[in-house]
Amino acid sequence: MADTLRVNPIACSGHGVCAELLPELIALDEWGYPIIEGRPVPPSLDLEARRAVAACPTLALKLSRG
Amino acid sequence: MSNSTAFWYASRATGVVALLLLTAVLVLGILVNRQGRLPGLPRFAVTSLHRNISLLAVAFIAVHVLTAVADTYVSIPLLSGVVPFDSGYERLWLGLGAISFDLMLAMIITSLVRGRLNRVLWRAIHLLAYLCWPVAFAHSIGSSHDLQHGWLLYLAIVCALAVAAAIIWRLASAARQLPRAARVAAILARHTASHGPSQARERIPR
Amino acid sequence: MTMASVDEAADWPTQPGGPTRPVRVDQAADALPRVLPPAAGVPGDLRAHLSRHGRPPYQGGHGRLIQAAEQAGLTGRGGGAFPVHRKLAIVARARGRKVIVANGAESEPASRKDALLLRVAPHLVLDGLQLAAEAIGASEAHLYLHPGIAPEVARALRERKAARLDRIGVKLTEAPQRFLAGQESALVNRLGGGPAVPTFVPPRVSERGLGGAPTLVQNVETLAHLALIARYGPHWFRGLGTPEEPGSMLTTVHTEDGTHVVEAEIGTSLRTLIAAKANAHGLDCSAVLIGGFHGAWLPAAKAATLTLDNKALQPHGAALGAGVIAALPAGRCGLIESALVARYLAAESAGQCGPCLNGLPRMAAALAELAGAELAGAELAGAELAGRGHRRQVPADLKRWAGLVTGRGACTHPDGTARFVRSTLTVFADEIALHARGQCSATQCSATSRTPFLPLPPGMPTTEDDWI
């Protein structure tokens, strides 16, 4: 079951680290905040997604089951 | 050179390097918090360097403690690395070293399990960094004659200045930062004049 | 009869009094009013309530009221239209301590129904609160409400205590005057002692709410309907309305002739609804705002063909929301009205989420620019609208921002604001073109007039205290 990426918009302060580590799935809007479509993460990017989640300085990025 | 002297030199050398690394970690930590960047490097480099260098610092301190214990010229019990004031030799200064190492371990262990921890608790423990560094600095100056004169003294002063500058920057930045309830009013105020395309792309830092 | 209404000023006597022997009204399935009391009578009178409806019919078990709510097809009347039985079931199933909150904050400035309901029919709401509390097994009950009506509701609670009607005590908490104060997680935050700002969901408040306990939050009107379903049954409830959306609902109707709260059968024609409280002059409107400030404009001609139900409205991009129907008089400029609303919505952002904090003020400023004016405090400056025009990319910017903020906040404030702005761009496209040439179709300019048509509270929040 693929995981989905979500961001907690209250915790997010627009560091932008996630978009650098996972440009395939995360883009930044014109104010520096991540645009995540909530699509499931393809298995090939699963490791990168986990790295991006770990790298978020405010722990705003989350990977949830299914 | 005897084994004992080699250990002693190793302990002093790793101690100096550890101080440099800890200074870098603290400055990088403030940089992460303020969303600062290192020229020429991507944003994730700042957070990665902060974390990796902190782990490197722990490694150096482990060697620093072990070599000091292994050296037989003075008697330093193994546990004095983490138990403060356990050593007969230079009880106060080594005690401070143990305290700062304990704080470091607390910060690193809580950071490793960050996902499971309450965010407020994690942050409270991480703020101990501002206690940890001065204590480590006092340990360095007090327990080592190296740092009390010459090039190493200058090095120590440079580290202290770097930390002081970073903290002053952090405080000034926090003072400028708007409380949540005032942010919207500020952005609205900025848009009371007709805005041009460039203004459309600015954002209020949080 | 498909409608009955109560005017805040007109239909109620200003001093207590009324018939000494209240007459019991048979509640026929197709009769109105239901939640509103019949016109003559003392507002909030307990004896009249008991005479009309009797004591609250406690069910003596958990499942029965939930089943009745399911069969009745009752949906939330606070704007979300979520099936009530499902919310009840989720909380009822949970273990441990549970909390129920009656939401009477009515943070939508254009809505008056909850305040009126609590003033004239508090006992029906409080019955519903007790019955729902029994159904879910709640041990703690709160009523979150507008500061102005707290004394009257407190009085109603004291009367009930004397008559031994209530099983659990109800704690009153005043809501701050913020647009987001009635949002579910903001409400729980406030009741927990913090500011009335939303929190990140999951977990939903029905799983982890006040003090970590599963919390049921229901609009006060929903609880009133529930109290009637408990007495007269689901079949009775379905005597009005449509098969998909049964029952009646309270609407707040704004016309040139004033603001009225009307209880109407779901599925009533909008034309009839507006005409009931407007004279011929009031029928002369150019556009209708449906659902409130998070709703959508519809051109008057289109609105005249539609009915008061989501099935009819949704294909046209509108929804019932909290039942606000505002018929913009023909002499008013919808563009300026919308710009003022957008500015209010931007000012009411909690400022917690980057996209909302950045996008909403920019949208408000852009809409003001389209109107040929500038944002200046709570008003629009540039009343003469003299040929200022707007930069060519402003409509494109607006559409882009509306897309950027949708779905990217912790709550639906940016989504609702974007919906409102988009509908403004669509319905008032001609007006925008006029303003670009320095003209305006309005005979009564809302920018110069001290009183815009749509009600907007003055001031804006600037400190943390404004959210408490």
In this prediction, residue C3 has a pLDDT band, given cuts at 50, 70 and 90, of low
Judged by a CB distance cut-off of 8 A, whether residue C367 touches chain B is no
pLDDT higher than 50, residue C231: yes
B201: nearest CA partner in chain C = C358
Nearest residue of chain B to residue C369 (CA atoms): B194
More confident residue, C274 or C11: C274
Q: How far apart are CA C63 and CA B27, in angstroms?
A: 60
Is a pLDDT exceeding 80 seen at residue B100? yes
Residue C364 has pLDDT above 80, yes or no: yes
CB C104 within 8 Å of CB C94: no
- Please name the helix (run of DSSP H) or strand (run of DSSP E) that holds residue C67, with its range, or none: helix C63-72
- State pLDDT tens for residues C33-43: 899 988 766 77
Is the model's pLDDT at B205 over the cut of 60? Answer: no
* pLDDT band at residue C5 using 50, 70 and 90 as cut-offs: low
C178: nearest CA partner in chain B: B181
CB B38 within 8 A of CB B45: yes
Name the residue with higher pLDDT: C374 or C145. Answer: C145
Crossing angle of helices C46-53 and C220-232, in 10° steps, is 40
Whether pLDDT at C61 is above 90: no
Smallest CA–CA distance, residue B35 to chain A, in Å, is 6
| CB-based contact C461 B203, cutoff 8 Å | no
**Highest CATH level, class, for C334-467:** mainly alpha
pLDDT score of C248: 95
When pLDDT is averaged across residues C81-102 and rounded to a whole number, the result is 95
Per-10-residue mean pLDDT of chain A, 66 residues long, equals 88 95 95 89 93 93 82
- For residue C375, what pLDDT is reported? 66
Q: Does residue B198 have a pLDDT over 50?
A: no
What distance in Å separates residue B191's CA from the closest CA in chain C?
6
Architecture of the domain whose range is C3-237: 3-Layer(aba) Sandwich (3.40)
Mutate to test the interface with A, among B43, B116, B126 (most CBs of A within 10 A): B43
Strand C258-265 relative to strand C248-255, pairing: antiparallel
Residue B179 near chain A (CB below 8 Å): no
pLDDT tens-digit readout, B12-47: 999 999 999 999 999 999 999 999 999 999 999 999
Q: Give the mutation candidate from B177, B187, B199, B206 for the C interface (greatest C CB count, under 10 A).
A: B187
- Determine the pLDDT at residue B4: 67
Among the ranges C45-59, C282-296, C314-328, which has the highest mean pLDDT value?
Answer: C314-328
pLDDT digits (tens, 9 = 90+) for C209-223: 999 999 999 999 999
pLDDT band for position C283 (50/70/90)? low
Q: Per the CB < 8 Å rule, is B200 touching A30?
A: yes
Say yes or no: A27 contacts chain C, CB-CB below 8 A: no
A-interface mutation test, from B44, B177, B202, most A Cβ less than 10 A away:
B44
Q: Does domain A4-64 match CATH 3.30.70.20? A: yes
Domain range summary for chain C, segments of one domain joined by +: 3-237, 248-329, 334-467
- Looking at residue C1, what is its pLDDT? 36
Q: What is the CATH T-level fold of the domain C248-329, as seen in this structure?
A: Ubiquitin-like (UB roll) (3.10.20)
| Distance set, CA C441 to CA C65, C284, C299, C329, C373 (Å) | 53, 14, 15, 12, 15
Say if residue C135's pLDDT is above 90: yes
Where does the pLDDT of residue C449 fall: very low under 50, low under 70, confident under 90, or very high at 90 and above? low
Is B204 part of the contact surface with chain C (CB cutoff 8 Å)? yes
Strands C324-329 and C285-290: antiparallel
Buried b (16+ CB within 10 A) or exposed e, A12-31: bbbbbbbbbbbeebbeebbb
Collapsed DSSP state (helix, strand, coil) of residue C447 = coil
Average pLDDT over residues B71-92: 79
What integer pLDDT is reported at residue C204 of this predicted model? Answer: 93
The residues spanned by each domain of chain A are 4-64
C-alpha distance from residue C32 to each of C238, C248, C262, C331 (Å): 13, 8, 10, 34
> Is the per-residue pLDDT at C225 higher than 60?
yes
Mean pLDDT, rounded, for B2-8: 76
Q: What is the mean pLDDT of residues C225-236?
A: 94
Instruction: State whether residue C108 is helix, strand or coil.
Output: coil
Once rounded to an integer, what is the mean pLDDT over residues B173-182?
A: 90
Question: Minimum mean pLDDT among A5-9, B78-82, B132-136, C371-375: which range?
Answer: C371-375
Q: How confident is the model at residue B116 (pLDDT cuts 50, 70, 90)?
A: confident
Residues B103, B109, B110, B112, Cα dihedral to 10°: 140
Q: Answer whether residue C25 shows pLDDT above 50.
A: no
C-alpha span between B145 and C440 (Å, rounded): 83
Among B42, B114, B115, beta carbon nearest to A20: B42
Task: Give every CB contact of residue C157 below 8 A, 6+ residues apart in sequence.
Answer: C126, C166, C170, C172
On average, the pLDDT of chain C sits at 87
pLDDT digits (tens, 9 = 90+) for C287-320: 999 999 999 999 999 999 999 999 999 999 999 9
Nearest CA in chain C to B188: C361
- Given a contact cutoff of 8 angstroms between Cβ atoms, the answer to whether C425 and C339 are in contact is no
CA distances from B30 to B175, C215, C250 (A): 15, 40, 54
pLDDT for the residue numbered B204 = 41
pLDDT of C127? 96
A13 touches chain C (CB under 8 A): yes
Per-residue confidence band for B79, with pLDDT thresholds at 50, 70 and 90: confident
- Contact assignment for A55 to B47 by CB distance below 8 Å: yes
A60 part of contact set with chain C, CB < 8 Å: no
Confidence of residue C387 (pLDDT cuts 50, 70, 90): very low
CB contact under 8 A, A20 and B43: yes
pLDDT at residue C4 in the model? 55
Hey, is the C-beta of B187 within 8 angstroms of any chain C C-beta? yes
Chain A and chain C share a number of CB contacts under 8 A equal to 36
C31: pLDDT strictly greater than 90: no
> Which token pair is C209?
């709410």
CB B68 within 8 A of CB B76: yes
Q: What is the pLDDT at residue C22?
A: 29
**pLDDT at position C221:** 97
Chain B / chain C CB contacts < 8 angstroms: 69
Please judge whether B114 and A59 are an interchain contact, meaning their C-beta atoms are less than 8 angstroms apart.
yes
Of B32, B48, B203, the CB nearest to A31: B203
- Cβ of C409 and A9 within 8 Å? yes
**C451 or C228: which leads in pLDDT:** C228
- Answer yes or no: is pLDDT of B193 > 90: no
Write the residue in A10, A14, A29 that is nearest to C352 by C-beta. Answer: A10
* CB-CB under 8 Å, C462 with B182: yes
pLDDT score at C50: 92
- Residue C379, pLDDT > 70, answer no
Q: Report the distance separating Cα C63 and Cα C65, nearest Å.
A: 6
C350 close to B (CB below 8 A)? yes
pLDDT, one tens digit per residue, over C426-439 is 999 999 988 888 88
pLDDT computed for residue C270 by the predictor: 93
For range B127-141, the mean pLDDT: 95
Interface test with A, best of C183, C353, C398, C399 (most A CBs within 10 A): C353
pTM: 0.90
C-beta of residue C277 within 8 angstroms of C-beta of residue C287: no
Looking at per-residue pLDDT, the higher value among C442 and C120 belongs to C120
Interface confidence, given as ipTM, is 0.95
Q: Using CB atoms within 10 A of its CB, is residue C418 exposed (0-12), middle (13-18) or buried (19+)?
A: buried
Closest chain A C-alpha to B193 CA, distance in angstroms: 20
Domain residue extents for chain B: 3-180
Chains touching chain C, criterion 3+ CB pairs below 8 Å: A, B
